[in-house]
Each structure stands twice: as structure tokens, then as C-alpha cells.
Chains A and B, each alone.
Chain A
Amino acid sequence: MPEIPATQPKDNEPSTLLDADFMTRLEQLQIVSRKIHASRQRGERRSRRKGESAEFADYRNYVVGDDLRHVDWNIYARLDRLFLKLFLEEEDLNVSLLIDVSRSMESGDPSKALYARRVAAAMAYIGLCNYDRVTLCAYSDRIVGYRQGLRSRRMMAQVVAFLEEIPSEGRSHFAAAAKQFAMRQRQKGVVLVLSDFLDKGGFEDGFRYLLGRKMDVYALHILSPQEIEPDLTGDLRLVDVEDDDVAEITVSKLLLDKYKANLQAYCESIRGYCSQRGVSYYLAITKHPFETLVLNYLRQRGLVR
């Protein structure tokens, strides 16, 4: 777990991941969860539970054992019946960011890893600004970095430090990492998976683990332009950066067409799987500015508001 730097930077100090202007614009956003999740701590979000905030919610009949402090004595005086006065409970939101830091994320120009970290930083900042509880989880074939309980804007420096220091290495195994994450993160909340999903173990199991925890899952599929339009020619021996697997190809128009069709089909299969299970799927290409992604695209798609 990355250590907290000795001198903590100010909340809105520009970092390599996010610049000041952008952060200012992020402050106006908040992460939307389609589900209201129960949380242990009070936050700024309305909870399904009735709680103790200042905002009145409802009345209900007194049942033996109820806390007498909540009895509306004015009603009792008027109607001579015991009613409990219910107030809205305000609680915080668990925002978990599952960041794929396998070696495959390093490739591409601009790099997918940097892109993923920037998006993660932006989402974390949005969460911190809204007093959500942010959990950062970096994974490859297992969880390699985990930071939870981040709240308030002051923690942003730790978020940045965490994101900057976690190296991209190892093979990706989303299912294993998701299983580990689901075991560790018992609270429900929003989970944003940032990955290229180039995972030979498949993506389905991973989502299943997360959904099994009734989490509100969002998937951001990050691909580099080189993966969309390969600039390969000739007879090549392609080596997988993660497992040194070799594919010998002779580049031809036919093969390239086939590859593109496969890629599209793969993306479609993830999208189809996700939409069937209520997972929001976004495809991001690193050549598009990530600011646009966060400020416009994700907003339009309803992840942030």
C-alpha cells in the first residue's frame, strides 16, 4: 500500500494526472448511483433508511421498543396517539475504482495506463468532493494495490500518489482480482472497472463476482488507437506483452479486416453481457481527450451528474 507523502499537497494542487482547471470543473460533478446503498457512515446522500438528519421524511405508528426520542409529542398531544417522526437519513456512497494495471495497459500511444489513471483520478476527485468513500483498487491477476476509506478532498493527494506509484506489471486476470475485491469490499456501492479487458481468462466471471455483491457496476473499456487500427505490415511474430504468447501472422488486408471485425465483436460481446446484467459499459479510445470523456461522455451516459 503506497505510503502517504510526508508533506501533503493542498487539495487542489495540480498533479500530473489532473490539472487545476479541470479539477475545478470536476468539483461540480458527482457520481450517480442508480441504487441507494446502505452505508455505515453518514454522508451527503439520501439513504433508504430513515435516519437522523434535519430533513423530515415521514411518520409511522409507534411500535413497542421504538426509541422514544423520535416520538412526535406534538401529534401525541393533538391526537393522543403515538407516532414516530422519521427523518431522512443521509449517508455516504462507496465509490470503488478497479484499475487494471497489467502490463498490457502500458501499450498504446497515448498509453492506456495513463488514461485509466487519469480517469480514475478524476472519478476519485469527484467522489472525494462529494464526501463519498472512495476505494482505489489496482489489479493485475490479483489485487496489487488497495486503498480504502478515502474521504474528503484532502485525501486527493493520496489518491494521486497511489495512482502514480502503482507500477503496470503482471498479467491481467479480471476474474481473480474481482473475486478478491468482492471478498474484501463488503459494502455495496458504485464500482467502476477501468480495463482494456484483453484478458485471456475472460471478463464474464469478474463481472459476476461484482454483481453478486449487488454492486452498481460500471465498465470503462479502454483501447488504444493502435488496437483499433493496427499499423502492422509484413510477416510478423506478435509477442504478447503479458505472457509472451506468440502469434505468427502475415499481415494482409484480409487479416486486418478479420481482426477489426473480431475486435468489434469482442466489444459488442462485453457490451451485450453488461447490458443484460445492468452494468453500464463505456468504450474509450485513448486518442480522445479524457477530459471530454469525463465532462461530456460519462455525463451524458449518466455516470456523473
Chain B
Amino acid sequence: MRFLSLSTGLIVAAIAIPALLLLYFLKLRRRERVVSSTLLWKRAVQDLQVNAPFQKLRKNLLLFLQLLILAAAIFGLANPVANFIKKPQRNVVILIDRSGSMKTVEPDGRIRLEHAKDGAMDLADSLPNGSRAMVLSFADRAEVACSFTDDKRRIKRRIEEVEPTDGPSKLGEALQLAVAYSANFAAGAVDKAVRGSMDTAEIDLFSDGRIKDADDQFVTRGKMTFYRVGAASDNAGLVAFDVRRDIERPGEVSIFVQVANFGPEQITSDVSLSLDRKMVSVQSVTLGPAMGTTTRPADLSRPVDMTALPSSRNVIFKMAHTAGGIIRVKLHRPDAWPTDNVVTAPIDPPREIRVLVVSSRSAIRYFLNRAFKVAFQIEDFTMMTPAEYEEAGDSALSIEGRSAFDLVILDKHDTKRLWPGNYVFFGGIPVIDGVARSDDVDDQVFVSWRESHPLLRHVTLDNIFAIKWSRLTLPKHALKLIEGESSAVMALITDPGHRYVISAFDLMESNFIKNPASLIFLQNAMMYLAGGDLTHADRLITPGDTLAIPVPPGAESVRITRPDDSVEDIDVADRTTATFARTGDCGIYKAVFNDADKTTETYAANVLDPTESLIAPNERFTVGAEDVQTVSGEIKTNEPLWPYAVAAAMFVLLLEWWIYNKRVMV
């Protein structure tokens, strides 16, 4: 047992006990009685007292009982505690995971975050006086809930205020912040002792241990303790999602979802698809138990059961729908974490894509004409020569300050006429800051490319070569899609309102257009750049992402409705993009601008993250390569004893009352 507030107790004792004694010496509130003579009484009192100064207090049971009460109360004030499982350090950084998986409903009906908060508050309680703690809550971003303070009430209040989000959990930023703050704090501390103790600043992580980037981090200072929170592991969720409109049959929509079971039992559930809150279709899936991902360590000695059901499955819905709307896929099985059982997505009505090709070379013109008109059946297809492009009036190329075309393909032409829109350059460059072309590169092959990028999806570049290409100077934020041995071959530059795909090689000096890969690339370009994709890639976000909403001309403010129907107005006057960061919750975010058309943009935040969906808490937690000390189960911390002290005081009070009454009833 020890005292958390010994100094408080001592101060109170130093004041209260002499005060009580003084009261006994100076003032006892007595009733006045007139008697015929005090002669005999005085003698009796004198007989009871001898001259010793404390004689008065001797045998005064009342006083002793009051002293006992006082002692019990002071004992309580000194905040005695017992049963420490860990010895608290002087300076503590409390990290609270508030990612989506912390919303898991535990068997006792409370969500996991509540347990984490309880644990954190217990920890805060257990800190001895003079300790300093800071509170960081993190999901995909870290937030300082409370900077270093020794005010336990404030710490606890801030812990209590931590709200859950649906975002993924990333530890990196939180760790950086923790270290940065403690470094600042240590530098600011004049007291050498405090500064010295900062070296042993302790990081206490309250989490279920399912943290995506934990292996990329390392603890630069202090000791880290991982408090494992939660027990539930039963969860099935939707981990992947895509929706496409068939390019050839725009009225048909395909919805693809991947359902995965993370629990230890086999499950059967319905997956439903609804459009604008009306159910369209239901499918049933049966999934086997998750393998090797649960809290149980994988049993390698057991032969793998090949007949076992897979723990994840793809479900494909098809429906005919020509208008826009919001689709919602739901897994109808109650489980511990309901957040990942629903995916929502806005879909747009099919629209005609307008494509402009600027080329003077007949072979290219012929190829692109065939590709767009015959293969992709683009009705609104325009062909210009570079001279025509440069001479065309603004009205021919732009509408309301934006490009009049969804996609502009320029063949061997550099231009300045770039209204906000999407541009693909072959053998040319946009005349913008940071982009330049220098000497040619030849006798090189394509070394690497980003196969996963939507532009290069399914594009096989193994057999593609170019005789030579120009060496490009690119801005830093350019994304290199294809790289040669010494310079980039293809790059994507995303500027506000503009997207440029720059291909350094000339189409005529490559076998690209003779290969089917070129057609796939063009289709990807249409889908990705021109919005041929049914759900614009930007419109599906992960919770916590920042929304960048293009501002239509004339709009001065935008009203954003969040999934919980709360509304936020943002001033967007004189800006091209509106940003909105409060996207922690899953669901639909609707932005309505106040321009003439009441332009509306809809975004959907979904988890779609197997790491989060795997809610079973980690047995072991590693940061970088190091194992972190794990405290699991009930977080044992200081058991406050003051209620017992108060109870003792009450008991003594009752005893006093009884004795007093017994005494006076002589």
C-alpha cells in the first residue's frame, strides 16, 4: 500500500488535528444551567483533573473517537492505494486507439473503446502525485487530446472525451507526436530531474493491437507498454468493393463485393443490395472460419483441411439501372463490429464522354478514330489538328471555365491552352511550371511500371518498347507510371482541376499502338480520367480521408451533410477546391454548393480494410522488430482505499453516537 496524495494528507493532518485539539481546549459548546452553587461541582471537576495540561483530554472518549474519525478521513484524503501491478513512471504518454475496430461491441455490451478509456483512466488514477501525462488519440491521424499535465482530472476528462471513428489505425503519426511532445516538454523543463526523467518517458498504448503500420515504426525513446483491450473476435465484413457500369451497355451496373469471415466459427449470412433504400437483390454466403488470423496461434502440425470452406468469398450483383443513386450492400449478420457490414457508394447516371484528339498524323488519327468510335462507341468524338487547336476560339474548347471535353489526347504537341480537365500527351508536354523536356534517351527498355494503378490496370507492357523518348523534368508531386533505366517514360501530374498524363515517347516510334495494350490503356484513361468509371475513384474514401471537392464557378459556400445528418457549412469563395476533414464516420457525405445549379457531390466513406475487420485482439504486439510488453485482460491498477477509510469514519461516528448516548443516560 502507498499513498498517492501523501502531501495532501499531511497538510490536512497538520491543520485539522491541532484545530480539533484546540477546539477541545478552547471551545466546547455547552448548555448553560443555573445551579444553586458551583462549589461542589468545581471540587468534583477539580478532583477529576490533576494539573497536567493534557489531563483534560485524557479519558475523553469523545475526543479520541473524533481523532479516530479525523485520522480515518485524513487517511482517505492521502489517497491510499494498494495492489500495484506496475510501478508507474513519472511521465506517461497515453495513446488511445480510436480506429474503427475499437467500435467493436464486446460481450458485456460496451464498445471496445470504452474499455480502453476505462483502462486509461485507471492508469491515470494510478499515477503518483507530480506525474505528468499526455493523452493522444489516434485512428489514421493522431490528435493531441491533452498535452503534458499533472492535472489528473483534466487527463481523465480528456480521456472521457475521446470519440470513436471508423478510420483505419495508424500508429506512426501518434508515435511521432508523442516523441515530439515529450522532447519539447523535456527541453522546456528547467528542472533537471524532470528532464532526466523524460528519457524514461513511458508510452502506454491502449488498443486491440490491430495496427496497420506498427511494423514500420520504432520507439525512439522510452518504454512502450501495450494494454490489450477487448476479447470479441466474431466478425464478418465486407473487405473489398467495386461498382462498374458496362461501357457497352451503360444501363447495366455490376457490383462486386468481397465478404470475409474473421471469426473462429463457420457462418452463413445474407448479403443484400439496395438502391436508394430499396432492396434490390439478396444472396446467401457461407464462409468457413478464419485461418491463422484469429487469436489462436496457427497449429502447424495439423494438416490443412482442403475441403474446408474458404473464409472469404466474392459476391457479384448485377442490376439494370440507368439513373444515379446511392447503392448499399449489407451483410445481414449481427456481429461484434457492425461498421464493416455495410458499404455505401454513390453511382452516377451514365453519361456521354466527350473526347478530343489533337493530331496531325494520319496514322494516329486513324488509330484513335477507330479506337474511340468503333471500339468504345464514343459518339461525341472530335478530331483537330494542332493548328486548329491553337486557333480555335475559347468557346469551342471550354465551357464555364472548364474544358469542354472529358478527355483531350494530344499527339506530339506542346500547348498552353489547358483549361481545367484531363489531358493525355504522347510525345508532347503541357507548358506548365516544372515540366520540361530535354535530350532524348535511346536504347533503353521499360524497367518498371505501376501495374496496380488504375491507368495501367491489365495493361501488359512486357512486349512494348520505344526506340527513344525524351528525358522529362517533372515536378515533385508527379507520379511516375512507367520508368526507364534512367528517366521516367510516363507520368501522371495531378494539379488542382487538371490531370496530365505525359508519355515521353512518340507513338510512331513505339509498337504501343500495334499492341492491344494500347486499347486497354485508352479505356483505363477514359474510366479513370474522364469519369467513365461509375463511381469516381475520388468519391470512395476511407474514413478519415480529407475530401477535396472541386468548386463549381459561382459557388460561395458548400453545405456538407455528414452520415449522422449533422450539417457543416464551408466558405469556398475564391477557391477551386473545398476541403473537408471530418470524415471519421462511415457513410454518405453530401456536398451541396450554393451556385446556380446547386451542384451536388456525393462521397462515401467505407472501411474496406481487412486489418480493421480482423477485430480479434493481438496476442503479441510488435513495433518494428521489437516485442512490446503486453498487459492483457483486466487492467490491474490502483485500487482506491479511501472509500474504506470513509466507511471507517462513518462507523466510528455511529459508535461515538452510541457511546455518547450511553454515557449521558447515566
Is B432 part of the contact surface with A, judged by Cβ < 8 Å?
no
Q: Tell me if A148 is interfacial: C-beta within 8 Å of chain B.
A: no
- Are B664 and A233 in contact (CB-based, < 8 A)? yes
How far apart sit A100 and B464, CA to CA, in the bound complex (Å)?
Answer: 140
Query: What separation, in Å, do the CA atoms of A109 and B610 have in the docked complex?
Result: 97
Q: Which residues of A contact B28 (CB under 8 A)?
A: 235, 248, 250
Which residues of B in the span 21-64 have a Cβ within 8 Å of any Cβ on A?
28-45, 47-48, 59-60
Determine the chain A residues whose CB is within 8 A of the CB of B30 once the complex forms: 234-237, 248
**Docked-complex contact A233 and B40, CB < 8 angstroms:** no
Q: How far is the CB of B514 from chain A (nearest CB, A)?
A: 115
B666 within 8 A of A: yes
Contact of A239 among B34, B42, B59, B60 (CB under 8 A): B34
B212 to chain A, nearest CB (A): 73
Query: Are A108 and B36 also in contact (CB < 8 A) when A237-B30, A248-B30 are?
Result: yes
Q: Is B665 an interface residue (CB 8 A)?
A: yes
Q: Which residues of B contact A237 (CB under 8 A)?
A: 30-33
**Contacting residues of chain A (206-257) with chain B, CB-CB under 8 angstroms:** 224, 227, 232-242, 245-256
Q: In the complex, are the beta carbons of B664 and A249 less than 8 A apart? A: no
Residue contact B664 to A196, C-beta cutoff 8 Å: no
A104 contacts chain B at the CB level, 8 A cutoff = yes
Q: Does B663 contact A (CB under 8 A)?
A: yes
Across the interface, do B44 and A239 meet the contact criterion of CB distance under 8 Å? no
Contacts of A234 in B (CB 8 A): 30-31, 664
Residue numbers in A under 8 Å from B35 (CB-CB): 107, 238-241
Interface presence of A200 (CB below 8 A): yes
State A237–B28 Cα separation when bound (angstroms).
Answer: 10
Per-residue contact bits, chain A 79-113, to B (CB 8 Å; 1 contact, 0 not): 00000000000000000000000001101100010
User: Which size class do A's interface residues fall under?
Assistant: 35 or more
List of B residues within 8 angstroms of A112 by Cβ = 36
CB-CB under 8 A from B32, the residues of chain A are: 236-239
Q: Which residue of A lies closest to B37 (CB)?
A: A198
**Does A262 interact with chain B (Cβ within 8 Å)?**
yes
- Interface range on chain B (Cβ under 8 Å from partner): 20 to 34
Closest CB in chain B relative to A94 CB, distance in Å: 31
Q: Is A305 engaged at the interface, CB distance under 8 Å to the other chain?
A: no
A258 beta carbon closer than 8 Å to chain B = yes
Known: A200-B39, A233-B664. A238 touches B33 (CB 8 A): yes
CB <8 Å contact, B48 and A255: yes
Are A259 and B663 also in contact (CB < 8 A) when A198-B37, A241-B34 are? no
Of B41, B47, B48, B665, the residue contacting A233 (CB under 8 A) is B665
The residues of A that contact B47 with a CB separation of less than 8 Å are: 258, 262
Counting chain A CB atoms within 10 Å of each CB, the highest count among B31, B39, B43 belongs to B39
Assess whether A283 is interfacial by the CB under 8 Å rule: no
Q: Report the Cα distance A262→B42, complex, angstroms.
A: 10
Given A233-B665, A233-B666, A263:B40 Cβ within 8 A: yes
- Cα–Cα distance between A235 and B63 once the two chains are bound (Å): 13
Q: Within the assembled complex, what's the spacing in Å between the Cα atoms of A204 and B621? A: 99
Q: Contact: A238 with B41, CB < 8 Å?
A: yes
Chain B 1-33, CB-CB to A under 8 Å as 1, else 0, gives: 000000000000000000000000000111111
Report if A76 contacts B (CB, 8 A): no
- Chain A contacts with B in 248-305, Cβ cutoff 8 A: 248-256, 258-259, 262-263, 266
Contacts of A262 in B (CB 8 A): 40, 43-44, 47
- Nearest CB in chain B: distance from A115 CB, A: 13
Bound state CA distance, A105 and B42, in angstroms? Answer: 19
A198 adjacent to B31 (CB under 8 Å): no
**CB-CB contacts below 8 Å: B641-666 with A:** 663-666
A235 to B663, Cβ gap below 8 A? no
Determine the distance from Cα of A242 to Cα of B480 in the docked complex, in whole angstroms: 113
Instruction: State whether A235 touches B31 (Cβ < 8 A).
Output: yes
In contact, A249 and B45 (Cβ under 8 angstroms): yes
Tell me how far the C-beta of B72 lies from the nearest C-beta in chain A, rounded to whole angstroms: 24
User: In the complex where A232-B33, A237-B31, A240-B35 touch, is A253 in contact with B41 (Cβ < 8 A)?
Assistant: no
Residue numbers in B under 8 Å from A251 (CB-CB): 664, 666
What chain B residues lie within 8 Å of A263 (beta carbons)?
40
> 8 Å CB contacts to B: which residues of A50-85?
none
Pick from A107, A108, A198, A233: contact of B39, CB below 8 A.
A198
Most-contacted residue by chain A among B28, B29, B41 (CB, 10 A): B41
By beta carbon, the residue of chain B nearest A107 is: B36
Q: Whole-angstrom distance between the alpha carbons of A220 and B32 in the complex?
A: 30
Q: Nearest residue in A to B40 (C-beta to C-beta)? A: A262
Q: What residues of chain B lie closer than 8 Å to A107, measured between beta carbons? A: 34-36
Q: Once the chains are docked, how many angstroms separate the CA of A224 from the CA of B44? A: 18
**Given the complex, which residues of A lie within 8 Å of B29, measured CB to CB?**
235
A196 touches B36 (CB 8 A): yes
Question: Which B residues are CB-close (under 8 A) to A233?
Answer: 664-666
Chain A residue numbers with a CB within 8 Å of B664 are: 233-234, 251
- The one of A224, A232, A247 in contact with B42, judged by C-beta atoms closer than 8 angstroms, is A247
**Which residues in chain B, 453-469, are within 8 Å of chain A measured between CB atoms?**
none
Using known A-B contacts A233-B665, A248-B30, A251-B664, determine if residue A258 contacts B44 with beta carbons closer than 8 Å. Answer: yes
Asked whether B44 lies within 8 Å of A104 as measured between CB atoms, the reply is: no
Q: Is the CB of A198 within 8 A of B36?
A: yes
The residues of B with any CB-CB pair to A shorter than 8 Å are 28-45, 47-48, 59-60, 663-666
Interchain Cβ contacts under 8 Å between A and B, 5 examples: A107-B36, A238-B32, A248-B30, A255-B48, A262-B47
16 additional A-B residue pairs with CB within 8 Å, beyond A234-B664, A255-B44, A262-B40:
A104-B37, A105-B36, A107-B34, A107-B36, A112-B36, A196-B36, A224-B36, A234-B31, A235-B31, A236-B31, A239-B32, A240-B37, A245-B42, A249-B44, A250-B28, A253-B666
Please name the 5 residue pairs, one residue from A and one from B, whose CB atoms are nearest each other, closest first: A198-B37, A237-B30, A107-B36, A104-B36, A247-B38
